[in-house]
Amino acid sequence: MLFPLESAIKADAKTVAASGDYDIVIVGSGISGAIIAKQAAEAGKRVLILEAGTGANSTLSGYDNLLTTFYSAASKDNQSPFPLNANAAMPRSPQLRKLRAGETDSSTYIVQSGPYVSDTTYTRIFGGTTMHWEAKTPRLLRSDFKTRTIFGQGLDWPLSFEEVEDDYRLAEREIGVSADVEDQQYLGQTFPDDYVFPMRGLPLSYLDQQVNKGIEGTSVELYDKTYPLKVRPYPQGRNSIPNPAYDGGKGYRPIGAVDTHQVEEGGRCQGNTNCVPLCPVQARYHSGKTLAKAFAVNGKSGERLVELLPQAVASKVNIDPDSGKVHSLEVKIYKDPASPAHETITVKGKVFVLAAGAIETARLMLASGLRSTSGLVGRNLMDHAYLLNWALMPEICGTMRGTSSTGGIVDLRDGPFRERQAAFAIDIHNDGWGWATGAPTSDLLKLVDDRNLYGADLRRGMIDQVSRQLLLAFMIEVMPVESNRIAVDPQYTDALGNMRPILSFTVPEYTMKGAAYGRQFARTVFTRLGAQDHTQYDPSDFGYVAYEGQGYAIRGGNHLAGTHIMGTTKTNSVVDKNQRSWDHENLYLVGGGSMPTIGTANVTLTLAAMCFRSGRDILKSLH
């Protein structure tokens, strides 16, 4: 995919400040902003995208520099490819520590106010969190849209699955989802007879297949209902074999790497294990691919319709007191990531879209003093709670081959048990115990330091130790709770003087009940596989949560949602079903923050689908 030269799309701060004719001003270049920008450009609208990051990774060499940073980083966490930038700081999980009762830790970008400390992350660079996402793209189940009605838990959406279904298909096209319909028809998920995904499903890893061998045909009982088990492939936002039957036989053309010259890279997933955080060949979707299409759209007189202003941190939403409409955005432009020096400009437009992710969008609203009529801005924060379980398989299973997760056990995503406890989906991790123990580095250090191995013995030892590792990551449902929230306080600010997000979170009991069952479930699965359980949760772990006499280390899932939920009235929600603010008619708060519940689906596909809906509503409002 060709990308225009930087000079052609990069806006100049002075020109932007002087310009009054943007139809739409979007904060954030992640998937939400990218989809809306593309839709708007195709309808002939002028769009400005404000990006807090440097934008250096919009070129292939900039992207490859992130890879080099990742390869040379000692800790390979989700944010390791992304250089430190105090002006657009982001959470980095290795810096966390456990809190004492009542303590607040402001040493990291997100101020952790507890009691639960979350290692959740999002990425503040060009492309947003799609630069590090896992690219699993399951849809929400039908029941997920009305958990209050069906299970008496959480909230109902103001939208039904049927109302979102067409937009799911648009999102699957935009992302380029690889999946086979027959693998995704479970727990009541149905597809029209003629529907196929853009690309064929990616194969299960050998590890997935070995796990499946041990559990297929077995089942578990939960509250008198039987759930048969098997390993299913996940739908994924990474390039596979295009399905010739897609789009009524027209097929699908995959999009590889984006760059200013032709590299034709990224045509197909190569199964690189460091797919998360960063695909080395751009076979994994990132929103730069959507933006490349948006930037390519020209207006009537050949002018580019979409401009990008990088190093631009939106700092305040200014409201016209008479109309209640957004009048402008205050934006801080920094010259150098290493220096807090900046100038402040005012950006005007007809419609404003905050697409900065659930935490930053809420943070910006709160920092602007905009709590909304419902008072719910920042509240109902959700993120999947992850419980890790790890074991050694009886035989070598090829761990460390394939992208981070290709298959999982999803049979417990739904059932009547959701009246009492959270549902979960289980990822089989192809990257071994890495998430739980720091493998394979931790294994290497052990073999060298404790057993003095070297040469062929060390290689053999690594294979024996690492390629039998099985990690089951339980992605557990978390329901909206108003006290779980993002707040701001003038005493906690960043390098540019913007208030930082303060996170207060308690893992709900509903979720912990699911976690406790998940632990039991993992033991059952390990026994059936003949695998040796090595799971242990350290009470000093930052995410340690005690529940009914047992302790569990809960991890954040980076599936942030709920901070500006959608609903049916201005008193029960922040935005309407088109993600338009109830209080400010030319303001849209888009992304995971609008989701009233997250079920057991990674949030990106759903929030992408919702942005197609919002894009149409914005265009309607501009006419």
Partner 1 sequence: MYSSSIKTLDELKEFLYRAMQLEHATIPPYLTALYSIKPGVNQDATQVLRVIVVEEMLHLTIAANILNAIGGTPDLVRPDFVARYPAALPDGETDFKVGIQAFSREALATFLKIERPAQRPEHLVGKGLIYRKTPPDITALASHPSHEDLHFFSIGEFYSAIAEGIKYLEAEAHGAGTTIFTGDRSRQITSEYYYSGGGELFPVTDLKSALEAIDLIIEQGEGDGGGIYDDDDHELAHYYRFEELVKGRYYQKGDQPGHPTGPELQVDWEGAYPIKKNLKVGDILEGSELRGAAIAFNTRYGEFLQLLTRAYNGQPTLLLEAVPMMFEFRNMILELIRNPLPQHPGKNGSPTYEIPGAIKQPAATRQAEVNA
463 binds partner 1 (CB under 8 A): no
Give whichever of 261 and 623 is closer to partner 1, judged by the CB atom.
Answer: 261
Start-end of H helices in 101-205: 147-151, 161-175, 181-184
CA atoms within 13 Å, Cβ hemisphere of 523: 6
**Out of 100, 250, 261, 623, the residue judged to bind partner 1 by CB under 8 A:** 261
Give whichever of 241 and 462 is closer to partner 1, judged by the CB atom.
Answer: 241
Coil/strand/helix, residue 5: coil
Q: Which residue has the tokens 């955080």?
A: 277
Give whichever of 21 and 182 is closer to partner 1, judged by the CB atom.
Answer: 182
245 binds partner 1 (CB under 8 A): no
209 binds partner 1 (CB under 8 A): no
CA nearest to 604, candidates 591, 617, 588: 591
68 binds partner 1 (CB under 8 A): yes
Check: CB of residue 589 under 8 Å from CB of residue 361.
Answer: yes
617 binds partner 1 (CB under 8 A): no
Q: How far is the CB of 1 from partner 1 (least distance, A)?
A: 7
Q: Which two tokens stand for residue 101?
A: 């009762």
**Out of 127, 128, 201, 242, the residue judged to bind partner 1 by CB under 8 A:** 242
The count of other CB atoms within 10 Å of the CB of residue 218 is 12
CA torsion sign for 14, 20, 23, 28 is positive
- Which range touches partner 1 (CB under 8 A), out of 22-30, 58-66, 123-131, 530-538? 58-66
**Out of 265, 330, 533, 617, the residue judged to bind partner 1 by CB under 8 A:** 265
Q: How far is the CB of 619 from partner 1 (least distance, A)?
A: 30
- In 438-530, the DSSP E strands lie at 469-476, 485-487, 502-505
268 binds partner 1 (CB under 8 A): yes
270 binds partner 1 (CB under 8 A): yes
Check: CB of residue 27 under 8 Å from CB of residue 355.
Answer: yes
445 binds partner 1 (CB under 8 A): no
73 binds partner 1 (CB under 8 A): no
DSSP code of residue 298: B
**Out of 19, 104, 106, 260, the residue judged to bind partner 1 by CB under 8 A:** 260
**Out of 170, 241, 396, 453, the residue judged to bind partner 1 by CB under 8 A:** 241
263 binds partner 1 (CB under 8 A): yes
Which residue type occupies 103?
A: E
Give whichever of 268 and 327 is closer to partner 1, judged by the CB atom.
Answer: 268
- Which range touches partner 1 (CB under 8 A), out of 153-161, 237-245, 309-317, 345-353? 237-245
Q: How far is the CB of 452 from partner 1 (least distance, A)?
A: 26
> Residue 351's beta-bridge partner residues?
24
Q: Which two tokens stand for residue 289?
A: 């691919």
Distance CA 157, CA 155 (A): 6
Distance CA 43, CA 93 (A): 41
**Out of 107, 262, 301, 452, the residue judged to bind partner 1 by CB under 8 A:** 262
250 binds partner 1 (CB under 8 A): no
Check: CB of residue 211 under 8 Å from CB of residue 529.
Answer: yes
61 binds partner 1 (CB under 8 A): yes
- Which range touches partner 1 (CB under 8 A), out of 236-244, 322-330, 470-478, 582-590? 236-244
Give whichever of 261 and 620 is closer to partner 1, judged by the CB atom.
Answer: 261
400 binds partner 1 (CB under 8 A): no
Q: How far is the CB of 284 from partner 1 (least distance, A)?
A: 16
Check: CB of residue 120 under 8 Å from CB of residue 383.
Answer: yes
Give whichever of 165 and 265 is closer to partner 1, judged by the CB atom.
Answer: 265
Element (H, E) at 445: helix 441-449
Q: Which of residues 159-178 bind partner 1 (CB under 8 A)?
A: none
- Which range touches partner 1 (CB under 8 A), out of 181-189, 239-247, 560-568, 600-608? 239-247
- Which range touches partner 1 (CB under 8 A), out of 178-186, 190-198, 251-259, 587-595? 251-259
Element (H, E) at 226: strand 225-228
Give whichever of 68 and 569 is closer to partner 1, judged by the CB atom.
Answer: 68
5 binds partner 1 (CB under 8 A): yes
254 binds partner 1 (CB under 8 A): yes
Distance CA 558, CA 501 (A): 15
**Out of 62, 115, 256, 340, the residue judged to bind partner 1 by CB under 8 A:** 256
Distance CA 565, CA 572 (A): 9
Q: How far is the CB of 279 from partner 1 (least distance, A)?
A: 15
Distance CA 266, CA 256 (A): 4
**Out of 62, 83, 267, 551, the residue judged to bind partner 1 by CB under 8 A:** 267
CA nearest to 363, candidates 25, 32, 89, 63: 89
The count of other CB atoms within 10 Å of the CB of residue 100 is 9
Cα-based angle 217, 223, 225 (whole degrees, multiple of 5) = 40
Give whichever of 298 and 339 is closer to partner 1, judged by the CB atom.
Answer: 298
CA nearest to 460, candidates 396, 392, 382: 396
Q: Which two tokens stand for residue 166?
A: 């067409």
Give whichever of 65 and 104 is closer to partner 1, judged by the CB atom.
Answer: 65
Distance CA 42, CA 20 (A): 21
Q: How far is the CB of 241 from partner 1 (least distance, A)?
A: 5
60 binds partner 1 (CB under 8 A): yes
Which residue type occupies 580?
A: R
What HEC string does 35-63 produce? HHHHHHHHCCCCEEEECCCCCHHHCHHHH
List of residues 6+ apart from 303 with CB closer than 8 A: none
150 binds partner 1 (CB under 8 A): no
Q: How far is the CB of 401 from partner 1 (least distance, A)?
A: 10
- Give residues in contact with partner 1 (CB under 8 A): 1, 5, 60-61, 64, 68, 200, 241-242, 244, 251, 254, 256, 260-265, 267-268, 270
